[in-house]
Structure 1
């Protein structure tokens, strides 16, 4: 009788131990899954929030790029004396970035660098292998002219040294002592390479006409 009770007691205790281990292991897995961020509901909520944020951001970008620009003035609203000294404020870094991206989209242009000053644009590029130098210069120059106010002069060069030259000016200011001398020296070297003569002549004529109208 005592032996039977002992056996039953042992079986009951073993059952409790096994059940406890199973429960403990399950709890450990749940704890680990939660701490590691693997909870299914938690991930689902995070994914939904991220998707909503990305959708809102995309909608905002589309709205900005889709907006039109419109301004209207009457003669009486403008101070003509002050207007004669007015100039267009322009983000030169953004303009240099735009010109560079536009040129490099053409087939064969593998590397392009652009420097925008207050009235000049210097463009360095690697000439496409199967393209004549004059044609490459015309593409680069015409792209710059199409994106800038007409008072800008655009100079291009397919010489590799030009990349280094215009890069040396990237941190300069137009008021620096040696700025003008360095800039003019670089421009003179760039002029020794093809400049897209037809585009240059057309732009020069338009620029002279605009200057004569303002006199």
Structure 2
């Protein structure tokens, strides 16, 4: 009786081992190792449909799957230093999605390394209408970009040219941070920004507490520059 039990146990282990080997072999064929990352397909530019090489991927049939493991040291770099995105493709996506919003007729989007500036034209002129459109445009942008980004919107037609001028610069341009700050300050002064994201973040996604803001976006806007009528009663 004991011999029979042992025989079945050995058989079970053999089958289990073979099954695991089969799964592992299948995983090796399905997934690609890249350091501490395992993903289904070779990664391509974010939102760049022209870079999709697999026939199934171009039709949107593949799921997205990525698995990350901590490095032995366990050190975690800041989120914005961890990833890079195709900023022009993201800006294109935000602008396309924004003009699909009712009452938005034109939209220009600038994506920097940590901010999104959206300038749009709307036929809404009343305070509540402008506020609601701003909220929709802002949320649309936030649905596209990584979470550490801050989003600023404006329906002032004059500021669309300012946003366009910033697009001619890059992260290495002289005084680029000051230029971005100045444009954002004008956007906050002249245009509604929609509702607060949550209790810990303002309408633009900036941290509310002074402690958290120390490690937040380097382009902090002086709250004194924001007109009180930007806040909806």
TM-score tier by shorter-chain length is 0.5 to 0.7
Match of 1:80 among 69, 74, 79: 74
CA offsets per residue over residues 11-30 of structure 1, 9 Å max, x none?
Answer: xxxxxxxxxxxxxxxxxxxx
User: Is 1:93–1:116's contact at 8 Å kept on the other side of the alignment?
Assistant: yes
CA offsets per residue over residues 56-77 of structure 1, 9 Å max, x none?
Answer: xxx93764522222122344x5
User: Is 1:111–1:126's contact at 8 Å kept on the other side of the alignment?
Assistant: yes
Distance 1:87 1:134 in 2: 34
Distance 2:152 2:135 in 1: 10
Find the counterpart in structure 2 of residue 175 from structure 1. 172
User: Is 1:99–1:147's contact at 8 Å kept on the other side of the alignment?
Assistant: yes
Distance 1:109 1:164 in 2: 17
| Bigger fraction of residues in strand | 2
1:124 is paired with a residue of what secondary structure?
strand
User: Is 2:169–2:176's contact at 8 Å kept on the other side of the alignment?
Assistant: yes
Query: Is the alpha carbon distance of 1:92 and 1:110 closer, same or farther for their aligned partners in structure 2, counting shifts above 3 Å?
Result: same
* TM-score, structure 1 normalization: 0.61
2:66 is paired with a residue of what secondary structure?
coil
Find the counterpart in structure 2 of residue 68 from structure 1. 63
Distance 1:141 1:187 in 2: 14
CA offsets per residue over residues 80-136 of structure 1, 9 Å max, x none?
Answer: 33x425511101001101111111111221100100001110000112347711011
Distance 1:63 1:197 in 2: 36
Aligned positions of 1:8-23 closer than 5 A: none
Larger radius of gyration: 1
* TM-score, structure 2 normalization: 0.57
User: Is 1:150–1:207's contact at 8 Å kept on the other side of the alignment?
Assistant: no
Find the counterpart in structure 2 of residue 197 from structure 1. 195
Q: Tell me by how many angstroms 1:178 deviates.
A: 2.0
Q: Tell me by how many angstroms 1:198 deviates.
A: 3.1
User: Is 1:138–1:199's contact at 8 Å kept on the other side of the alignment?
Assistant: no
Aligned length: 154
Unaligned runs of 5+ in 2: 1-53, 216-233
Aligned positions of 1:78-117 closer than 5 A: 80-81=74-75, 83-84=76-77, 86-117=81-112
Query: Is the alpha carbon distance of 1:162 and 1:202 closer, same or farther for their aligned partners in structure 2, counting shifts above 3 Å?
Result: farther
| Bigger fraction of residues in helix | 1
1:80 is paired with a residue of what secondary structure?
coil
2:110 is paired with a residue of what secondary structure?
strand
User: Is 1:113–1:124's contact at 8 Å kept on the other side of the alignment?
Assistant: yes
Work out whether 1:161 is the aligned partner of 2:154: no
User: Is 2:131–2:192's contact at 8 Å kept on the other side of the alignment?
Assistant: yes
Find the counterpart in structure 2 of residue 149 from structure 1. 146
Unaligned runs of 5+ in 1: 1-58
